[in-house]
Structure 1
Amino acid sequence: MLAQQMVALAEQDRALLDELAASGEIPSADYHPRVRALHQANAERLSAVIDRHGWPGKDTVGEDGSEAAWYIAMHAVFDVDFMQRCCSALIQAVAAGQAPGRQLAFLEDRIRVLTGRPQRYGTQFEIGDDGWPVPSVIERPDDVDRRRQALGLEPLSSRLARLRGPGLAGPDDWLRRSA
């Protein structure tokens, strides 16, 4: 039941984003009020789950439910304190084998970028002057691939190559594919 709830919340999020993208309402410079309201409601539900069960890991909600919980946490950008609470719970879940390390890398990096700090794993990107995605500032970039490997991520150069992947003639192709 809990697993289904987590998955349903994430599916509602994706459906709303798809709907608003199709109507041209997003992307926009502002946080769309319907998206924010849904993200807040989902975060409240996830917070209650964490209060009762800790991070919803594989044994509690299965891999799909755990992935959905992570997705919800990643979208709680309006409340960095809540995201940090999720990150603390996720650290324990990763250590216990209840969640994949990549979830921790992405969440920690998102928090760091949102708070103006360099990311550790190179998971967060921005659009460079040439129109292509470039990693946001990385703490100790010479060690990034070691940190990425420790949490199950491919080397950053491989990730960048995939982002600029085959069949993309230029940044406009990448933007169309990522929309």
Structure 2
Amino acid sequence: MINKKLQWDLILMSQKDQRMINSKKWSSAIIKRNTAHLKDIIKKYGRPSSKFVGLAGESAAWLIAQHSDYDVKFQERCLKSL
């Protein structure tokens, strides 16, 4: 069953990330906040798979992980699991 709230949280985080990048107004605070929130999600629920957060939610989680440059070890763990 898809967790719609969690799906929407991930989508909103990825949209905020993309707006920031497209506006060329880089904010490490947004990236770090998104990374921390994704870590919390993974710790609480496990990998945000398409069965749990839908394809859009899973894609959003992957985008957030890709942009988590402040935590390369986290990126590497996500690469192996997402």
TM range (shorter): 0.7 to 0.9
Q: Which amino acid aligns with 1:18?
A: N
Q: Which amino acid aligns with 1:69?
A: A
1:44 match: 36
In the alignment, the residues of structure 2 paired with residue 70 and residue 10 of structure 1 have an alpha-carbon distance, to the nearest angstrom, of: 9
Larger RCO (CA within 8 A; separation ≥ 6): 2
Aligned: 1:85 with 2:77:
yes
Q: 2:7 aligns with which of 3, 13, 16?
A: 3
Sequence identity of aligned pairs in percent? 29
Give the unaligned 5+ runs of structure 1. 26-31, 91-179
Larger Rg: 1
1:118 match: none
String of CA shifts for 1:106-156, please: whole Å, max 9, x gaps: xxxxxxxxxxxxxxxxxxxxxxxxxxxxxxxxxxxxxxxxxxxxxxxxxxx
In the alignment, the residues of structure 1 paired with residue 79 and residue 23 of structure 2 have an alpha-carbon distance, to the nearest angstrom, of: 29
Q: Which amino acid aligns with 2:34?
A: N
Name the TM-score, length of structure 2 as normaliser. 0.86
Give the unaligned 5+ runs of structure 2. none
Secondary structure, counterpart of 2:56 in structure 1 = helix
Name the TM-score, length of structure 1 as normaliser. 0.41
Higher-helix-fraction structure: 2
